[in-house]
A and B are shown apart, each in its own frame.
Chain A
Amino acid sequence: MSSLAHESTKPEGVFEQFETLDQQQDTYMIGMWAFLVTEVMFFGVLFLAYAVYRWKYQSIFYEVHNELDLLKGGINTVILLTSSLTMALAVRFAQLNDKRGQLRMLGATLCGAFGFLVVKSLEYSAKFQHHHFPGPDFRWEDPTVPASVAQLFFSLYFAATGLHGVHVIIGILVISSLAILVARDHPLVKGDYIPTEMIGLYWHFVDLVWIFLFPLFYLIPK
């Protein structure tokens, strides 16, 4: 069934389990896409739960959503979109083996990510102050809206944006690690743009989730 094939010397940077660099790069990309499928399903559940309750409590959700800070949400949308651009440029620089360009773009992406978190924390702290965080401290002043349903809106809001925020934080950790490795010419990333591309895919996904979150929560039509 088998026959002895001529053993080829493996090029530098190819891990033991792979035969060629192409195989290694293709494999990493498939792995990343498979992982992103799981991420889609993660957020999908929250979007589904939100859709079910928004359909059930249409008018209440509309009223409650007016409490969300449209300006800050909009700023965050612009920030994330820009950071996706800088990330894509970082991938491009990696492909061109331009270390400085890559580090600059990774740095810009990190700035965007941090900026997003800063704006988010301002939003969240305002919510805490107004007693809009779900839990025993929750208060809703309008008596024509059942407090439990208002709390449900905020539960879904915090669950979805919170999970997204966790992904932003993970993104910051991963992008920083990448930047450090690139800066130090670490063999894992030297001459190989695939790690950057993989992380780029992840970051685009994080951006994409926000592109759905923002209109769904912040832009409910009357």
Chain B
Amino acid sequence: MWNFPIAPPQASNFASEFDALFGLLTFLTIFFTAVVGLVVLFFVTKFRRGRTANRSAPVNDHLKLELVWTIIPTLLGLAVFVWGAKLYIQMRTPPKDAYEVFVIGKQWMWHVQHPNGVRENNELHVPIGVPVRLTMISQDVIHGFYIPAFRIQYHVVPGRYTTQWFTPSKEGKYPLFCTILCGTQHSEMGGYVYALPQPKFSAWLANGGNRFQKPALTLGDQGKQLFDKLACTNCHGTQDTLRGPSLAGLYGKTRRFTDGSSVVVDESYLRESIINPYNRITQGYEKTMPVYLYKKQVSEENIRQLIEHIKSLGQPAAPTVAQQLESMAVRPAASSANR
């Protein structure tokens, strides 16, 4: 009980700038509290009732003073705002070559999936020095995914994907918490994040994670199996047909709809088009796609697998970040020699 820290460890790329901003705010807080406190204490003492002091010509207003103590706090506040906004925009803008991890929150645990098929529950292994992007969704109520040591947190919402990213910077084991009240076991829905140096992480990933058994299929491969099983190929082949458009190279392209609107295809659109295809119909087509009722025929995991597969359709065979990381472990002798 006597081991009490006063700050969480700095274990991500955001942590030190965050702590600097936090430190500035703390300084301003203590400073202004002290200034007001001391001024008040001074006045209370000097002008205490019964104490002789010069009270003649009391001042009841002073425009210049009002302007000074309005404008200066406003400027200080705006300065802090700008710094916070800049860091936040960084936090909300993941780099393109991030390592993608998929997170599902549910009452009351976290399912984490790596692209090569490795799964973990209530744990998250991440490589140091590599940007990691979490794509998250809930299967039931709103949860929150929070890693204090990384200074990152975001809500995990049912019905839509939310994302956050970070680059781990320090090896260690750090708590992760759920931060939105989600029911009985809300405070037990936690776990640990393990930040590993890249070689160790690659080895972990290549050896099947905690199960010590290399997964048979990657997320994308599982998606391909599902794609075939659900007979998606009947309408979505390699070319556009009368029944359905081709999905090759779709990810990242712009799709136009019958109502005139358009969207750049991303994970959210793909998810919507699987479970609610009639909301936006691709131009040139009609309401013919079978609806995959959410949860009854495809789970969030399934949807993710399908999306990974669709993303790979028609794409050139450049190795993804995940594949690169995994391949690092294939030459263990070489990498340990470099250390």
Q: CA of A145 to CA of B279 in the docked complex: distance in angstroms?
A: 9
Q: Taking chain A's interface residues, is the majority helix, strand, or loop, or is none over half, making it mixed?
A: loop
Min CB distance B288 to A, Å, is 9
Q: Is the beta-carbon distance between B278 and A145 smaller than 8 angstroms?
A: yes
Q: Is the beta-carbon distance between A146 and B276 smaller than 8 angstroms?
A: yes
Which residues of chain B come closer than 8 Å to A143, judged between CB atoms?
Answer: 291
Which residues of chain A come closer than 8 Å to B259, judged between CB atoms?
Answer: 58-59
Q: Is the beta-carbon distance between A144 and B276 smaller than 8 angstroms?
A: no
Which residues of chain B come closer than 8 Å to A56, judged between CB atoms?
Answer: 279
Name which of A56, A143, A144 has the most chain B CB atoms within 10 A of its CB.
A144
The tally of residues in A whose CB lies under 8 Å from a CB in B reads: 9
Which residues of chain B come closer than 8 Å to A85, judged between CB atoms?
Answer: none
Min CB distance A122 to B, Å, is 32
Q: Which of A38-55 contact B (CB under 8 A)?
A: none
Residue of B nearest to A142 (CB): B287
Q: CA of A145 to CA of B278 in the docked complex: distance in angstroms?
A: 7
One digit per residue, 1 when the CB lies within 8 angstroms of any chain B CB and 0 when it does not, for chain A 49-93 equals: 000000011111000000000000000000000000000000000
Q: CA of A202 to CA of B287 in the docked complex: distance in angstroms?
A: 47
Which residues of chain A come closer than 8 Å to B287, judged between CB atoms?
Answer: 144
Which residues of chain B come closer than 8 Å to A146, judged between CB atoms?
Answer: 276, 278, 291
Which residues of chain B come closer than 8 Å to A60, judged between CB atoms?
Answer: 278-279
One digit per residue, 1 when the CB lies within 8 angstroms of any chain B CB and 0 when it does not, for chain A 125-162 equals: 00000000000000000011110000000000000000
Min CB distance B290 to A, Å, is 9
Which residues of chain B come closer than 8 Å to A58, judged between CB atoms?
Answer: 259
One digit per residue, 1 when the CB lies within 8 angstroms of any chain B CB and 0 when it does not, for chain A 6-46 equals: 00000000000000000000000000000000000000000
One digit per residue, 1 when the CB lies within 8 angstroms of any chain B CB and 0 when it does not, for chain A 167-207 equals: 00000000000000000000000000000000000000000
Min CB distance A37 to B, Å, is 30
Q: Which of B111-151 contact A (CB under 8 A)?
A: none
Which residues of chain A come closer than 8 Å to B276, judged between CB atoms?
Answer: 146
Q: CA of A60 to CA of B276 in the docked complex: distance in angstroms?
A: 11
Min CB distance B285 to A, Å, is 12
Q: A58-B259, A59-B259, A144-B278 are in contact. List 12 more A-B contacts (CB 8 A).
A: A56-B279, A57-B279, A59-B278, A59-B279, A60-B278, A60-B279, A143-B291, A144-B287, A145-B278, A146-B276, A146-B278, A146-B291
Q: Write the residues of chain A forming the contact surface with B, with a CB cutoff of 8 angstroms.
A: 56-60, 143-146
- Pick the 5 closest A-B CB pairs, nearest first: A144-B287, A144-B278, A59-B259, A146-B276, A57-B279
10 pairs from A and B in contact (CB 8 Å cutoff):
A56-B279, A59-B259, A59-B278, A59-B279, A60-B279, A143-B291, A144-B278, A144-B287, A145-B278, A146-B291
Q: Write the residues of chain B forming the contact surface with A, with a CB cutoff of 8 angstroms.
A: 259, 276, 278-279, 287, 291
